[in-house]
Amino acid sequence: MVGGGPGSYVAGFHRKAAGLDEEIELVAGAFSSKPEKSYEMGKILCLNPERVYGSYKEMAQREAGLPDGEKLDFVSIVTPNYLHFPVAKEFILKGFNILCDKPLVMDLNEATELLKLVKKHDVLFAVTYNYTGYPMAKQAKEMIRQGMLGDILKVIVEYLCNYVPVNTDIKSIKKDFWRLDPARVGSSSCLADLGSHAENLSNYVTGLKIERVFADLKSFVSGCELENDATILLQYKNGAKGSITQSQVLTGEENNLNIRVYGSKASLAWYQNNPAVLSVRFLDKPEVLFKANNDYLEPLVKNSTRLPPGHPEAFIEAFANIYRNFARTVRARKYMEEAGPFDNDFPTIEDGYSGMNFIDKVIKSFKTSSWVDI
């Protein structure tokens, strides 16, 4: 693991998810840009001190020199955005597989170069768009893929939060709130943090590709050059219409991510705050509620659950589905075996690139007040 030192927010989720199915072991890390903090985290995690490093470059160099039986199988990157590209590049050049937190990188230029590097060096690369790991998001995907909704007409995705102080000067916000700092997140805050999830969830569930966007962006923080609220109109390649609304400043909202898909035969709705339920409505019969952990679900879905009906699975388990599937794919390649039928069900470097391209085109749309092709 690179990143995830003492006090890290997201790294704990990654470590718990990676260990959930007992198929992955954390054995090495460069947990902070400050060596003393990296060494401290290594002690907390009871790792071999010889495999706890003061920098990711030192880690890449020494780990690459280990024999095949000891060498890392993949590296998990859980740093702020600005380090995703240099860390990933360093390890890819030495032949390591990568699992990286989202968004992929800082901008489209970095995404383009990273995509080329992954293909050139033939490594496996996953991106933790973890909401596609939820079983009922997968049930929605399968129902649409099988045509149960008919022709898709409209897609609405919302990701609504309230974790940025409204009407506050940027100088009064704590310096470590890095998601508002262009030097650490790139050209976008809300889009990179929330919109990339929304775009990926739309692509994953519907199987459709966005063709054009028209965007309105807004900052409610005085002195902040990055947006913390965005509304985007979408046109899909099949002619369907849609919208993505995301915000970091909406009073009372607590990670309200949801997707609604309307077809010519039926519609469906999934809310991350009630993740075990998928609502499906039809033209000619009553609404049906699909619930996780039941035998009537699609095989892809049942493969992503671990508990009997009525036992809740949620955020950590969704992360774990990505880690497990990626690890199994890495293992299959390592031993020259055929991967399982669902092991490739994880977001890839192409999905990460798609997210960066989406962010780039949304910003261009806002700046030109026009529709922009994806």
Q: Which of 123, 143, 173 is the last residue of a domain?
A: 123
CA dihedral 8, 77, 304, 20 (to 10 degrees): -60
**Host domain of residue 90:** 11-123
Q: What whole-number distance in Å separates Cα of residue 346 and Cα of residue 333? A: 16
Answer yes or no: do 138 and 113 share one domain: no
Task: Compute the chain's Rg from CA coordinates.
Answer: 21
Do the Cβ atoms of 243 and 253 come closer than 8 Å? Answer: no
Q: Which two tokens stand for residue 373?
A: 């092709």
Predicted local confidence at residue 174, as pLDDT: 55
User: What is the domain count for the chain?
Assistant: 2
Answer yes or no: do 187 and 110 share one domain: no
Does residue 79 lie in a domain region?
Answer: yes
Q: Which residues of the chain have pLDDT under 50?
A: none
Does residue 256 lie in a domain region?
Answer: yes
pTM of the model: 0.95
Answer yes or no: do 272 and 369 share one domain: yes
Q: What whole-number distance in Å separates Cα of residue 82 and Cα of residue 185? A: 6
Answer yes or no: do 148 and 257 share one domain: yes
Answer yes or no: do 180 and 300 share one domain: yes
Angle between helices 196-206 and 135-145 (to 10 degrees): 50
Answer yes or no: do 110 and 141 share one domain: no
Answer yes or no: do 26 and 81 share one domain: yes
Does residue 156 lie in a domain region?
Answer: yes
Answer yes or no: do 17 and 85 share one domain: yes
Beta strands in the chain (DSSP E): 74-77, 97-100, 125-127, 152-160, 210-218, 229-236, 241-247, 256-263, 266-271, 277-282, 288-291, 372-373
